[in-house]
Amino acid sequence: MPKNTIAYQGYQGAYSHLACKNAYPDYEAVACESFLDAMIMVEDERAKLAMIPLENSTAGRVEEIYRLIPKMSLYVIGEHFEPVKHCLLGLPNCDIKDAKYVLSHPQALAQCQEHINDMKLKAIAKLDTAGSAKEIKEKNECAYVAIASSLAAEIYALKILKENFEDVKGNVTRFFILSKEKIIPKFDSKKIYITSLIFEVRDIPAALYKALGGFATNGVNLKKLESYSPGGMAVSQFHIDIYGHIDEKRMKLALEELAFFADKVKILGVYEKFGTKDTFD
């Protein structure tokens, strides 16, 4: 197993890269072309961990990840929240008044639309924020600027023309930290844990209501419930994040009831909640 290596999707300087550096500053971050490539690196033991975005407070859930999760053989060993602070980047020898075209991922462009309009810039959608920074560096024309992270500015030797370029502050991305090794922390009553799992409901009346009823009767709080259809319209799968540890008695009872009314229950991981009790709630 490789030591101190964490894989992510995107170019160097992407927000996933920034999340890797902030969560694991001593690890070598390895860029991959796709989320699947990053996961396969861990499965093949070419990387120890993968940093995979699950949802964004502005853009919502990352659909592709929910399609990949049921198929993966990895475990969730932690979560990480990374603030998204967009910067307007340009060439070092250029002035902001020379900018005419702005490149970035469609979500980043949408999150900065008011500022783009105020500057009368023409938005050009690209596949990646950091890739946009790399492209304007290669174009070497003052008319082109990019919306990306401060890390991208550092990596591609660009100038930050404007910080906090986003229209709405407080944009945050939640990441799953994946490992091939199943790591379940020992229960400590002083800490807050999250158990993530997926399941399919049985074909009976009120199946979902009955499957989730055990959490209510045992005083277990659900942090998140997502539904999706990875295998077509015929089967619905559910992803839930639960406040609790599988070694707690109340969780054991709730999971027993879930298993009775659900099919294919798979625990993705048990891990400590990120931050303090009130962080990002």
Whether residues 199 and 149 fall in one domain: no
Whether residues 51 and 92 fall in one domain: no
Whether residues 111 and 53 fall in one domain: no
Q: Does a structural domain hold residue 222? A: yes
**Residue type for position 130:** A
Catalytic (active site) residue 175: yes
pLDDT in tens, 222-280: 999 988 776 555 567 899 999 999 999 999 999 999 999 898 899 999 999 997 544 44
Q: Out of 5, 129, 165, 175, pick the active-site residue.
A: 175
Q: According to the model, what pLDDT value does residue 114 have?
A: 95
Q: Write out the E strands in the chain.
A: 5-9, 28-32, 49-56, 60-61, 75-83, 87-90, 101-104, 122-125, 144-148, 159-162, 172-179, 193-201, 221-228, 237-243, 262-272
Q: Does a structural domain hold residue 184? A: no
**56, HSE (Cβ side, Cα atoms, 13 Å):** 17
Global pTM? Answer: 0.89
Catalytic (active site) residue 129: no
Q: Which of 130, 153, 179 is the last residue of a domain?
A: 179
**What single DSSP character describes residue 11?**
S
CATH at 222: 3.30.70.260
Q: Out of 173, 199, 215, 238, pick the active-site residue.
A: 173
Q: According to the model, what pLDDT value does residue 67 have?
A: 85
Q: Does a structural domain hold residue 212? A: yes
Q: According to the model, what pLDDT value does residue 278 have?
A: 43
Distance in Å from the first CA to the final CA of the chain: 35
Whether residues 10 and 78 fall in one domain: yes
Which residue, chain included where needed, has tokens 């800490």?
Answer: 191
Q: Does a structural domain hold residue 240? A: yes
Q: According to the model, what pLDDT value does residue 58 have?
A: 81
Whether residues 238 and 197 fall in one domain: yes
CATH at 128: 3.40.190.10
Q: According to the model, what pLDDT value does residue 235 have?
A: 65
Q: Does a structural domain hold residue 208? A: yes
Whether residues 211 and 198 fall in one domain: yes
List, for the chain, all residue ranges whose pLDDT scores fall below the cut of 50: 277-281
Whether residues 30 and 156 fall in one domain: no
Q: Does a structural domain hold residue 134? A: yes
Q: Does a structural domain hold residue 280? A: no
Whether residues 47 and 175 fall in one domain: yes
- Bridge partners of residue 88, in order along the sequence: 147, 162
For 266, the domain range is 193-272
Q: Does a structural domain hold residue 281? A: no
Whether residues 43 and 143 fall in one domain: no
Whether residues 78 and 201 fall in one domain: no
pLDDT in tens, 240-253: 999 999 999 999 99
Whether residues 40 and 109 fall in one domain: no
Whether residues 23 and 69 fall in one domain: yes
Q: How many domains does the chain have?
A: 3
